[in-house]
């Protein structure tokens, strides 16, 4: 008998399926609110679909690449479905590198697509595996090279994000603090005016309570970051001059591991990865260690320009565990945090911030005591690969029981599993299906 959560989550993915004008099927995060194809949401969906419909998973991957990939290799965080507002906001067509037939955002998102493509390849019939891998390796290599060609501003293998949405954790308190203190090179009055316009124009709070969304400051700074990027027409040299530049520990950890997966995929398909990418990847793995803080036993993102760490500890501080390559004693330090009830050892799942540092009691958007599918996926996968399945199993159980109680909500409280945000969220459904599969449900 199919487990009821599995049934329900498959229905969520079916409900959130769309077909593009070019005939590709893809999963939107939520049909009512997040009605576009998002990069890391799709990566999780692909991973889930791979198990029960690998052709559908492969088609979703192709949809991202054929529709979204820019000529410079970038895969954007959003391929916009039919919102004039989003199209105007990002104005991707100002860049000669953007796709002609589709409107997209002008930024990317954490690069975990190789992981999803590799899972898909393993589920495809043997005769289809090699052609798919060949295609995936070619496009993923272009994508990963883009990170190094256009975002390795100080040439140390640690790529920078240039927008809070590029981390996928929009309202992450470390970034919120960074953006609050950043010299945006814009008069304060202009920022105050933008804040007023943002509070009137923002759409999200018409759908959800403000307490479940990014706060006004973060949303204002995100808008400002978009306006500054848009003014560059997404030109790499001009982006390199913008104020917002963060060597994100989270993005670099994901890139490092996905470079390794890409190399495995290439070995299987008989392709070669360029020396450039191989060397850069080694540099990323090595230099993530520069982000380690021995005293706090955590990793921290840093301001690319000043080298100053973004000192607020968040779940991103744990993410180097996902690389699989950090020194043993650093991995043990991170795991101690995950198990410590004063730190990230919450009753259910891993919260966005250490419990002892919480300023607010209620969960907020990527803030405080919240469990999100993306970060839960990355960290449980990391724990399993590092031989700590006993910890991962408890996290899997918390996540599945939250979905069992409330359905595929956007995020949950790590204190009591209450549900927040949108109710039919594909990434949550996808992770529940991935967990059900590995736990044999």
Window of 34-42, 302-310, 313-321, 428-436 that interacts with ligand GLC by CB under 6 A: 34-42
User: 3-class SS at 367?
Assistant: strand
Q: Does 29 bind ligand GLC (CB under 6 A)?
A: yes
Cβ proximity to ligand GLC, 326 vs 379, nearer residue: 379
Q: In 10 A of CB 308, how many CB atoms? A: 12
- Of the candidate spans 33-41, 46-54, 345-353, 433-441, the one that interacts with ligand GLC by CB under 6 A turns out to be 33-41
Residue 38 Cβ vs ligand GLC, minimum distance, rounded to whole Å? 4
**Binding of residue 221 to ligand GLC (CB under 6 A):** no
Please work out, in degrees rounded to the nearest 5, the angle formed at the alpha carbon of residue 271 by the alpha carbons of 270 and 272: 125
Tell which one of 9, 41, 97, 378 touches ligand GLC (CB under 6 A).
41
Tell me the closest approach of the beta carbon of residue 253 to ligand GLC, in angstroms. Answer: 16
Cβ within 8 Å of residue 177, ≥6 positions away: 310, 311, 312
Judged by CB under 6 A, the number of residues near ligand GLC is 7
CA distance 348 to 332: 21
Q: Which of these ranges, 38-46, 138-146, 251-259, 335-343, lies near ligand GLC under the rule CB under 6 A?
A: 38-46
Least distance in angstroms from the C-beta of 7 to ligand GLC: 23
Q: Report the chain's terminal Cα–Cα distance, integer Å.
A: 9
Residue with CB nearest ligand GLC? 29
CB of 425 to ligand GLC, least distance (A): 7
DSSP string, 116-157: HHHHHHHHS-HHHHHHHHHHHHHHHHHHHHHHHHHH-TTSSS
Distances from the Cα of 91 to the Cαs of 5, 51, 193, in angstroms?
40, 36, 22
Query: Which residues is 104 bridged to in the sheet?
Result: 79
Question: Where does this chain touch ligand GLC (CB under 6 A) — which range of 37-45, 224-232, 313-321, 401-409?
Answer: 37-45
CA distance 251 to 319: 9
For ligand GLC, the closer of residues 41 and 152 by Cβ is: 41
Cβ-Cβ contacts under 8 Å for 70 (sequence gap 6 or more): 76, 95, 97, 98, 99, 104, 146
Nearer to ligand GLC, 177 or 389 (CB): 177
Give the up-direction half-sphere exposure of residue 192: CA atoms within 13 A in the CB hemisphere: 3
Backbone angles phi, psi at 291, to 5 degrees: -90, 0
Nearer residue to ligand GLC within complex by CB, 34 or 234: 34
Q: Is 34 in the site for ligand GLC (CB under 6 A)?
A: yes
Least gap, CB of 34 to ligand GLC (angstroms): 5
Q: Measured from the CB atom, is 29 or 407 closer to ligand GLC? A: 29
Shortest distance (Å) from residue 74 CB to ligand GLC: 16
The answer to whether 352 and 345 are in contact (CB under 8 A) is no
- Each residue 85-104 as x (binds ligand GLC by CB under 6 A) or -, in order, gives --------------------
Alpha-carbon distance of 414 to 346, in angstroms, equals: 6
Residue numbers 288-317 binding ligand GLC by CB under 6 A: none
Using the rule CB under 6 A, is 412 a contact of ligand GLC? no
Structure tokens at 87: 């199209």
Angle at which helix 389-406 crosses helix 426-438, to 10 degrees, equals: 130
40 counts as binding ligand GLC under rule CB under 6 A: yes
Whole-angstrom Cα distance, residue 145 to residue 142? 5
Of 48 and 266, the one with the shorter C-beta distance to ligand GLC is: 48
How many other C-beta atoms are found inside a 10 Å radius of the C-beta of residue 405?
13
Alpha-carbon distance 239 to 248, whole Å? 16
Within 159-218, which residues bind ligand GLC (CB under 6 A)? 168, 170
- Nearest to ligand GLC of 16, 252 (CB atom): 16
- The residues that touch ligand GLC, with contacts defined as CB under 6 A, are 29, 34, 38, 40-41, 168, 170
């Amino acid at each position: 008998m199919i487990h009821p959560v599995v049934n329900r989550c498959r229905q969520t993915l079916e409900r959130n399926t769309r077909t593009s004008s070019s005939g590709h099927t893809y999963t939107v995060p939520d049909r009512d609110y997040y009605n576009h194809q998002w990069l890391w949401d799709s990566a999780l969906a692909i991973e889930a679909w791979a198990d029960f419909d690998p052709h559908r998973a492969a088609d979703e991957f192709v949809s991202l690449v054929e529709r979204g990939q820019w000529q410079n290799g970038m895969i954007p965080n959003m391929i916009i479905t039919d919102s004039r507002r989003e199209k105007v906001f990002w104005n991707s067509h100002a860049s000669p590198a953007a796709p002609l037939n589709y409107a997209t955002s002008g930024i990317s998102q954490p690069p975990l697509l190789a992981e999803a493509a590799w899972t898909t390849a393993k589920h495809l019939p043997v005769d289809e595996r090699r052609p798919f891998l060949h295609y995936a390796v070619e496009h993923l290599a272009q994508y990963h090279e883009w990170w190094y060609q256009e975002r390795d501003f100080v040439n140390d293998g640690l790529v920078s994000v240039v927008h809070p949405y590029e981390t996928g954790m929009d309202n992450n308190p470390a970034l919120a603090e960074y953006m609050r203190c950043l010299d945006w090179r814009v008069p304060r009055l202009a920022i105050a005016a933008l804040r007023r316009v943002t509070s009137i124009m923002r759409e999200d709070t018409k759908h959800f309570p403000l307490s479940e969304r990014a706060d006004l400051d973060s949303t204002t700074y995100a808008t400002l970051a978009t306006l500054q990027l848009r003014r560059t027409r997404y030109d790499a040299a001009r982006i390199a001059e913008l104020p917002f530049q963060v060597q994100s520990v989270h993005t670099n950890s994901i890139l490092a591991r996905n470079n390794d997966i890409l190399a495995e995929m290439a070995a299987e398909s008989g392709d070669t990865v360029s020396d450039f990418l191989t060397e850069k990847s080694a540099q990323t793995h090595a230099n993530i260690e520069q982000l380690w803080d021995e005293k706090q036993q955590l990793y921290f993102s840093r301001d690319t320009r000043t080298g100053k760490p973004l000192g607020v500890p968040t779940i991103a501080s744990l993410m180097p565990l996902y690389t699989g390559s950090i020194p043993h004693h650093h991995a043990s330090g991170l795991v101690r945090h995950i198990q410590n009830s004063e730190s990230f050892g919450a009753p259910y799942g891993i919260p966005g911030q250490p419990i002892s540092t919480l300023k607010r009691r209620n969960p907020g958007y990527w803030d405080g005591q919240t469990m999100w599918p993306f970060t839960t996926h990355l960290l449980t996968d990391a724990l399993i690969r590092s031989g700590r399945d006993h910890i991962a199993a408890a996290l899997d159980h918390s996540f599945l029981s939250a979905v069992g109680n409330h359905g595929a909500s956007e995020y949950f409280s790590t204190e009591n599993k209450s549900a927040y945000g949108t109710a039919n969220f594909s990434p949550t459904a996808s992770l529940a299906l991935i967990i059900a599969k590995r736990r044999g449900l």
